[in-house]
Amino acid sequence: MRVQTQSGWEWQVSNDIFKFIKNELYIELRFFDVAFSELIPQVDETIETMSTDGNCIFFKPEHMISVFKKNSKYLDRLFLHSVLHCIFSHLWVRGERDLFIWGIACDIIVEYTIDNMEKEILKRPLSWLRMQVYEKIDENPDGISAAVIYRELMKTDSETVNRLHMEFYTDTHKHWPKEDKMSVAQNQTKDKWDKISRQSEIKKESQGKDSDKGKNFWQQQVKTERGKKSYRNFLRKFCILKEELKIDMDEYDLNYYTYGLRIYKNMPLIEPVETKENLRIGELVIVVDTSYSTSGELVKKFLRETFTILSETDSFFRKRKIHIIQCDELVHSDITVTGDTDIDILINNFELAGGGNTDFRPAFEYVNNLIDTGEIKKLQGLLYFTDGKGKYPKKKMPYNTAFVFIDKLSETAVPAWAMKVSLE
């Protein structure tokens, strides 16, 4: 007769608990069936909660069994929390954001999503702090996403940030990618979850319309995050590969360098590589359609999203130069953005000038004149935010041009020489 060890028993019981959790969640959220089965249980004795890397769900058996005895519903919520991080791609879209603050922002948006699901097995009493945060989120004109919450947290004092961390802490992000740039394997995991996210959305839509606020809410979240990812990828088309002078620590061995200095005084055995290639944007022009059909809040949303994406992907030169031009049928203003510009102040104080009909030609004529006079020396591209209804230039421009729409419904036919993309 084979004697079962304590660890073996804990592993078996923990797996039974996971099956129980998935079954309970599946009854309420059937469209997440693939997502629930994707994460493979994996023991990690160093954690007191759950964690995921997109492939496994890490847990401590002793903790798992103890919590299940006291409050099994908490484990339902905990597991769903980690799954939603994967659905929303939180593990893979951090970019150069602060790891700690980004984690708090992601926890807030996931907890907000779960609380909006209004499912009996997921319900928990809302603290005063949590209710205050949710009210502020609901009032945000920029829509709801981890990126929006992150921007707010970066302007918040450290004491409040720590309180929010304690309030919304659920799973640990120990197994999330720590590097700014992802490996091939991490990209494959991200692509896998993008596919699962789309499959879940299709299954939800196939169930037909219902009045379930929570089910519809997570779909809005998925669409918001997907739109940001699509626009983020699109902006990379405007990036140019150019060398920026700085020491490339990845391309030489510091030991040989210091050894040479020590043995031969001022003669290192190997010189550091002084250039490192980076995908960066040169000079950029952003034109805003300020005709009567354009909303000021939509323009601010577009500008915030654009500058957030550019900053997080390290796309600016340290001495960058960007023109923000307002134009309806006339050019009304041209604001130059440099490395010293406070983007938040600029956008918050941004006021539309115009209100006439839409004609795209004056803006292009103005930009071409800036190029001719040497004001713009290396134009990488022009982004034109508009509803699309206006007069386009007939000739192709000598630089990349893209018309940006607020959503796919507002897209119209653009000239063959131009690109088009929607924010959502």
**Distance separating alpha carbons of residues 123 and 80, to the nearest angstrom:** 13
Instruction: Please say if the pLDDT value at position 418 is more than 70.
Output: yes
Per-chain mean pLDDT for the chain: 81
pLDDT digits (tens, 9 = 90+) for 82-115: 999 999 999 988 877 899 999 999 999 999 999 9
| pLDDT the model gives residue 244 | 47
Instruction: Please say if the pLDDT value at position 389 is more than 80.
Output: no
Average pLDDT for residues 257-273, to the nearest whole number? 53
Confidence of residue 409 (pLDDT cuts 50, 70, 90): very low
Query: Model pTM?
Result: 0.61
pLDDT digits (tens, 9 = 90+) for 186-227: 889 988 998 898 888 777 776 655 545 555 556 666 656 655
Q: How far is CA 250 from CA 245, 258, 270, 317, in A?
A: 14, 16, 14, 20
Residue 204 structure tokens: 């939800």
Task: Classify strands 56-59 and 40-43 as parallel, antiparallel or unpaired.
Answer: parallel
| Boundaries of every domain in the chain | 6-226, 240-277, 281-422
Instruction: Please say if the pLDDT value at position 406 is more than 80.
Output: no
Which residues 6+ apart lie within 8 Å of 260 measured at CB?
A: 267, 268, 269, 270
User: What number does CATH give the domain 281-422?
Assistant: 3.40.50.410
Among 163-172, 343-352, 374-383, whose mean pLDDT is lowest? 343-352
Residue 215 structure tokens: 């089910």
What distance separates the 2 farthest-apart alpha carbons in the chain?
Answer: 90
Among 18-22, 169-173, 376-380, whose mean pLDDT is lowest? 376-380
Among 38-42, 98-102, 205-209, 286-290, whose mean pLDDT is lowest? 205-209
**Distance separating alpha carbons of residues 50 and 41, to the nearest angstrom:** 10
pLDDT digits (tens, 9 = 90+) for 136-177: 988 875 567 888 899 889 999 999 999 999 999 999 999 998
